[in-house]
Amino acid sequence: MSNPSSKGAALITGASTGIGAVYADRLAKRGYDLILVARNEQRLNALANRLRGDTGRQVTVLPADLNDRAGRAKVEAVLREDSNITVLVNNAGVGSVASILQADVEDMEAMIDLNITALTRLTYAAAPAFAARGQGTIINIASVVGIAVEVLNGVYGASKSYVLSLGHSLQKDLGDKGVRIQTVLPGATATEFWDVAGYAAQKTSAITMSAEDLVDAALAGLDLGETVTIPGLHDDALWTRWEEDRRALGPKFGNAKPAARYGVA
């Protein structure tokens, strides 16, 4: 990208609508140039034109299907090669409300490809470049169902548990190299996600947050230095205790003998 801004550029996946489009708006207003990634080129161009007019930032449209190997490779190459990129927002994802007895396994594999494989490959493309420059931010959009895994489809919940676990590991690996990692766990959010997932009624539920509020809270969490941001969790002490208990449990796994309850001599 030419004429780099002082803040650099943010590459946002799933940027054509919903949470991704709001991230694009907010980051442009914060002074970032943008690279917008999604399948729908028409929507991307409409958003890019609006943001150029509203903010004066440089906005590049990068149509790509992240479920397709060639599409992923195109975005990976940009992340590796464009030194102006300072922020990656891994937002693209798909969900389902179907149980294992209802869901098609091909659809579940496609969900894994997008929610896990694409996010992982883009992170692996960006992280070495950010670490080499000593700066960069990776924002991975997970979900509260990564913890409350029984709520929706099991593969979807498991894919978001993966994103949360990956974030913890990335923080360990990259935190001392100038690379910031934030994992965002939205609850129900009023986007087209629910139309695709097969439960459009959730968009108007009393517990459903607007995409604007979700992103504004997530960016406020980033400003506060949070590594995990859960906008809908009002009592943050609950998360602190959860994390303390999880980390305290780890050292207790290291035993050469099975526990007495199993009766192994």
State pLDDT tens for residues 159-183. Answer: 999 999 999 999 999 999 999 999 9
> How far is CA 66 from each of CA 38, 117, 119, 240, 245, rounded to the nearest angstrom?
8, 9, 9, 34, 36
Give the separation between CA 261 and CA 265, rounded to whole angstroms.
11
Amino acid in the structure at residue 157? G
State pLDDT tens for residues 237-255. Answer: 999 999 999 999 999 999 9
Q: Is 71 exposed, middle or buried (0-12, 13-18, 19+ CB in 10 A)?
A: middle
Does 260 map to a domain?
no
Range of the domain at 20: 9-236
Residue 198 predicted with pLDDT over 50: yes
Tally the domains of the chain: 1
Does 2 map to a domain?
no
Once rounded to an integer, what is the mean pLDDT over residues 9-18? 96
Structure confidence at residue 199 (pLDDT) = 61
Average pLDDT of the chain to the nearest whole number: 93
Residues 6+ apart with CB under 8 A from 170: 123, 127, 138, 179, 181
**Active-site residues: which are they?**
156
Amino acid in the structure at residue 7? K
- Work out the percent of the chain whose per-residue pLDDT is above 90: 84
The two three-digit tokens of residue 161, written as one number: 């548990």
Structure confidence at residue 258 (pLDDT) = 95
Give the separation between CA 85 and CA 121, rounded to whole angstroms.
16
Closest CA to 209 of 236, 185, 235: 185
Mapped onto helix, strand or coil, the DSSP state of residue 16 is coil
Give the separation between CA 188 and CA 181, rounded to whole angstroms.
23
Residue 231 predicted with pLDDT over 90: yes
Give the separation between CA 187 and CA 209, rounded to whole angstroms.
7
- Would you say 1 and 35 are in contact if contact means Cβ atoms under 8 Å apart? yes
Give 156's pLDDT tier (boundaries 50, 70, 90): very high
- Work out the percent of the chain whose per-residue pLDDT is above 70: 93
- Would you say 81 and 72 are in contact if contact means Cβ atoms under 8 Å apart? no
Does 150 map to a domain?
yes
State pLDDT tens for residues 28-67. Answer: 999 999 999 999 999 999 999 999 999 999 999 999 999 9
- Would you say 32 and 59 are in contact if contact means Cβ atoms under 8 Å apart? no
Q: Is the whole model's pTM more than 0.85, yes or no? A: yes
Amino acid in the structure at residue 23? Y
Does 262 map to a domain?
no
Burial 159-192 (b: 16+ CB within 10 A, else e): bbbbbbebbbebbeebeeeebbbbbbbbbbbbbe
- How long is the chain? 265
Does 254 map to a domain?
no
Does 72 map to a domain?
yes
Residue 1 predicted with pLDDT over 50: no
Does 32 map to a domain?
yes
Q: Is 74 exposed, middle or buried (0-12, 13-18, 19+ CB in 10 A)?
A: middle
Strands, E, within the chain: which ranges?
A: 9-13, 33-38, 59-63, 85-90, 136-141, 179-184, 228-229
CATH number at residue 182: 3.40.50.720
Give the separation between CA 78 and CA 68, rounded to whole angstroms.
16
Does 242 map to a domain?
no
